[in-house]
Structure 1
Amino acid sequence: MDAAPLLDRVRAACLALPEVVERLSHGSPCWFVRGKKTFVMFVDHHHGDPHVAIWAAAPPGAAEQLIDDEPARFFRPPYVGGRGWLGLRLDLDGEDALDDDELRGIVTEAYRHIAPKSLSARL
């Protein structure tokens, strides 16, 4: 699967939020609030992983709930999963495929979890 269109969708969702910048971190595109705190990371077959996915900050308990409810779509990402981050596969087809509204919702929740209250209030 070509990851470029998936990256474009994630990029559009992230950059639509206030004061977000994109840059590479650990070899992957990441989005930062005010250039400081990461809230979403795009991974394309990270260290041999067979998936294209995002890792997103999540409010307490949200990642566990989504992983329990839909383990084919959601997972605990390495390195940051222990801090409550959520992994979301982007390379699924059919009814499991992620639609743009759901992507924007997950990205927006990640942003709200990381951004200062003054920025979150602008949403």
Structure 2
Amino acid sequence: MTASARIRALALALPEATERVSHGESSWFVRKAPQFVTMADHHHDDRLAIWAAAPPGAQTDWVSRDPTRFFVPPYVGGRGWIGVYLDVPSADETEDEKFWNDVADVVEDAYRTVAPKTLIRKLDEDSR
């Protein structure tokens, strides 16, 4: 499965999440707005990444854990969003699985950051 397909599957598994193009990139929204994740593959760095909304403190935490995979994205980084490079090669299969678990956490945190409380409750109920 491609990185784009994995992100799409993670995002669209969340209650009432939808995909549409925003600023020329695939992006995921909760209901009509707001955006919680966007693909970024043309922002002058030739890298494949996502940019995701994040709760307070998460951006610093992720970047300090692994600055080769996590970064402060331009434009939205000042609002606490986190960037995740999807094109960093993995050393082994175990690391790759851990990385994709981390990405799933980032995507879910992004959703929780912008989704209405009713949808967050639905997500919590569905995960029981």
Q: TM-score, structure 1 length as denominator?
A: 0.89
CA RMSD of aligned residues (A): 1.6
Q: Specify which of 30, 34, 48 is matched with residue 31 of structure 2.
A: 34
Q: Which moved more, 1:92-101 or 1:74-83?
A: 92-101
Q: C-alpha distance in 1, partners of 2:67/2:100? A: 20
Q: Specify which of 59, 62, 70 is matched with residue 58 of structure 2.
A: 62
Match of 1:84 in 2: 80
Determine helix, strand or coil for the equivalent of 1:48.
coil
Amino acid at match of 1:8: A
Give the paired residue count. Answer: 119
Match of 1:73 in 2: 69
Unmatched runs of 5 consecutive residues or more in structure 2: 124-128
Unmatched runs of 5 consecutive residues or more in structure 1: none
Q: Specify which of 84, 87, 93 is matched with residue 89 of structure 2.
A: 93
Determine helix, strand or coil for the equivalent of 2:102.
helix
Determine helix, strand or coil for the equivalent of 2:43.
helix
Match of 1:106 in 2: 106
Q: C-alpha distance in 1, partners of 2:2/2:47? A: 14
Q: Calculate percent identity across the aligned residue pairs.
A: 49
